[in-house]
Amino acid sequence: MVRLHQPESRARGALTPLCMVLAWTLLTLATACHPKAGRGEFDPRKVAFTARSSTLLDGQLYPSLILATSQAEVPELAPLSVSLVAPRDNAVLRLVIDSSALNYVTIFQEILPHRGETYTFTPSVKWKYDALKGLRQPRPLDLTLTCYINDEQVDIKNLRLNARPVNECPLSLRSPDTLVDTRWLFAAYVNEDHPYIQQILTDMVERDPSLRLSGYQNGTRNVEEQVYAVWRYALERGITYASISCTSNPSTNANVQHIRFFDEIYRSRQANCIDACVFFASILRKIGLKPVIFVEPCHAYLGYYTDKNRRDVALLETTITSWANLPELERSLNDDGTLPQEQLDKVSKYLSERQLREWHEGRLGLEGLKDAIARSLFSKAMEYDRETYNTNRQHFADSTAIGFQQLDIEQLRQRVQPIN
């Protein structure tokens, strides 16, 4: 066998002249395609590039705020801003935000017209919306921001934010000279598109085949019957009052509250005042009605327009569903169809003497008993907040009245999207 010996210049690891030419060409192309770094034309100290969290947000990143305003961003509530001094007239700023667990690589570019002037921007970050929707625990978020001027890398800044759970809803935000009421964000938790709602509507019609889910097409009386059907469903579901409003948010600038999503309320059968409003409003929106959430400093209750022209509004205190537990009532039924006295005592105050007599005489069955209880509670729920509404009506119409909000969900949909 004849072995061919390579010349020394062709030994393993050495470059042939052709390879050297190719390598040099690739290096030249790579250099041309990327921003130039290290030329030192612009002094980082004079450019004074800075990246900071919003003063209002105090280093916190709220996925609920980002998701809700994804179609209509609110610059004053942007989570971060950058500022720098223009080193020359008409300098081109290119800002690159590296990818992280919650965002994609983001490139932001602006012209800086006047040398020596300080410019501040709130770049629109390319967020990973699915990751934001799935965030159920707080976590740190490190962002790396690189500043280029006229394609020259000038400076790099690292910014750490505290990403909050998506259930965390800021109610108000404060800075040394500003107080912003953000309770309008409640509208983001109303989700008329949730897939569970279709089955709920099916269950409602199966319970009452005469029910017409037609929005405002069949008059005020039918509107009330549709709302009652939702009310009866919530009672049959056994939704009770449970408050879990506290969070671990360390910011002293923010007043925040944990809000359950529609499916969480459905599965857990638990809700506080705003959770229950979210649940009811989601279903009412689906069937074509126009819900309103009235927010006071320490409470929220539901309203709905009784006609499509919004002339009159009816009220509903949704937490009253917890006053009677219809599933427990049905589970406690004796084999002979009677109720233990302790169970009957829990609901007897919601029944008239005639209804109680008919129950004892066997002329009112369990379904009739539950309907009587549900309608009695429905009447109480419609009147419960009337006095406080009349007292605070002027505050709801006053945009400067901090803590009072009249949240017309249909109108808010123009700028507040559901978190789904």
The verdict on 195 and 325 lying in the same domain is yes
Asked if residue 39 belongs to a domain, the reply is no
Asked if residue 222 belongs to a domain, the reply is yes
Q: Looking at residue 37, what is its pLDDT? A: 45
pLDDT classification of 298: cutoffs 50, 70, 90: confident
Q: Looking at residue 337, what is its pLDDT? A: 86
Quick count: other Cβ atoms within 10 Å of Cβ 164? 26
The verdict on 206 and 340 lying in the same domain is yes
The verdict on 152 and 261 lying in the same domain is no
The 10s digit of each residue's pLDDT in 408-418 is 999 999 999 99
The verdict on 53 and 196 lying in the same domain is no
Asked if residue 38 belongs to a domain, the reply is no
The verdict on 199 and 155 lying in the same domain is no
- CATH of residue 121: 2.60.40
Asked if residue 20 belongs to a domain, the reply is no
Which of the listed residues 131, 148, 166 is the one where a domain comes to its end?
166
Q: How far apart are CA 378 and CA 109, in angstroms?
A: 57
The verdict on 147 and 219 lying in the same domain is no
The verdict on 130 and 258 lying in the same domain is no
The 10s digit of each residue's pLDDT in 151-160 is 999 999 999 9
The 10s digit of each residue's pLDDT in 211-248 is 999 999 999 999 999 999 999 999 999 999 987 666 77
pLDDT at residue 133 tops 80: yes
Which whole number is the average pLDDT over 298-317?
Answer: 95
pLDDT classification of 318: cutoffs 50, 70, 90: very high
Q: Looking at residue 35, what is its pLDDT? A: 47
Closest CA to 320 of 213, 232, 229: 232
Exposed/middle/buried for residue 1 (C-beta within 10 Å: 0-12, 13-18, 19+): exposed
The verdict on 57 and 132 lying in the same domain is yes
Q: Looking at residue 109, what is its pLDDT? A: 97
Asked if residue 106 belongs to a domain, the reply is yes
The 10s digit of each residue's pLDDT in 52-77 is 999 899 999 999 999 999 988 788 89
The verdict on 91 and 116 lying in the same domain is yes
Which of the listed residues 131, 166, 201 is the one where a domain comes to its end?
166
pLDDT at residue 146 tops 80: yes
Asked if residue 262 belongs to a domain, the reply is yes
Asked if residue 345 belongs to a domain, the reply is yes
The verdict on 211 and 339 lying in the same domain is yes
The verdict on 243 and 327 lying in the same domain is yes
Residue-number span of the structural domain to which 49 is assigned: 44-166
Q: Looking at residue 246, what is its pLDDT? A: 64
C-alpha distances in angstroms, 335 versus 175, 236, 338, 414? 63, 21, 7, 54
What is the total count of domains within the chain? 2
Asked if residue 406 belongs to a domain, the reply is yes
Which of the listed residues 166, 197, 212 is the one where a domain comes to its end?
166
The verdict on 291 and 219 lying in the same domain is yes
